[in-house]
Amino acid sequence: MTEVVVVIGAGSIGIAIARRISTGKRVLLADLYEEPVAAAAKVMADAGFETSTAAVDISSRTSVEALVGQAKALGDVSGVIIAAGLSPSQAPAEKILAVDLYGSALVLELFGDVMARGGTGIVVASQSGHRLPALMPEEDRLLATTPVEDLLALPMLQSDRITDPLLAYQYSKRCNALRVRAEAATRWAARGARVNSISPGIVMTPLARDELSGPRAGGYQRMIDGSPAGRAGTPDEIAALAALMMGPEGAFINGADFLIDGGVTASWFYGALRPE
């Protein structure tokens, strides 16, 4: 039976990961927009990978269900890379929560029900989730375990609490890591599959370049300049870690979140980037 790797979000990081882990497998590339998914499919096909494409809106249960059906029709789903999302400069808080928080949780649920034994998944979260101040234990539990369709009704996520798109993004990325932990111990475990998240810092992608020319450009550049690494990361560096996490050498990694940000978060709490 053909093994299928599903890549949701046809951007630089998702494609870099897929190239590392998809040899001999069919790659199903899915995105909300036709142009990036077509471009990604060409890159993958030119590199010798068998590819299929799909349109998906991860904020829609019906749309994600259709993607699951398409993936199952191609073969056994052995890998899922969730790399779709909106940045704080791309959308208002409500939309970010619908895509980055609810959408990722929905994909974890629906693909967790069909994963092949031994399969692996990864959610591309963000360093931003690590800079959100500590939540109460009950708030963490609610973000981790609330049924997907009830997530956006949580009091902590209402518009009177979250108006800033950056705060919505931070909550979403914290939720990504918490949902992975809960899913790894329950739904994915029942399938004999593993799932983890990875939290990149600033990585030079088209999205990052937009941020570096947008209204928050000063803050982004300060994080790069003030980090111990003194530079942004690359998609290949993120993919190298993800390949370890998803491959046989990472078989003991499950329900974990890995921060890979050149030391930005360390500097934010204890170094030159610490807020005054």
Q: Collect all residues with Cβ–Cβ distance below 8 Å to 152 and sequence separation of at least 6.
A: 97, 98, 101, 102
The CA distance from 231 to 167, in Å, is: 24
Sheet of strand 50-55: strand arrangement: 50-55, 26-31, 3-8, 76-82, 120-124, 194-200, 257-260
By three-state DSSP, how is residue 229 classified?
coil
Instruction: Please list the residues that pair with 29 across neighbouring strands.
Output: 7, 53
The residues that are catalytic are 169, 173
- For 24, 223, 231, the CA distances from 240, given in Å and listed in that order, are 18, 23, 18
- For 11, 188, 228, the CA distances from 249, given in Å and listed in that order, are 26, 19, 28
The CA distance from 168 to 145, in Å, is: 19
By three-state DSSP, how is residue 26 classified?
strand
Angle CA 220–226–229, to nearest 5:
100
Q: If we measure between CA atoms, which residue out of 63, 97, 94, 129 comes closest to residue 265?
A: 129
Query: Beta strand pairing status for 3-8 and 194-200?
Result: unpaired
- For 75, 123, 218, 228, 260, the CA distances from 146, given in Å and listed in that order, are 31, 18, 36, 37, 28
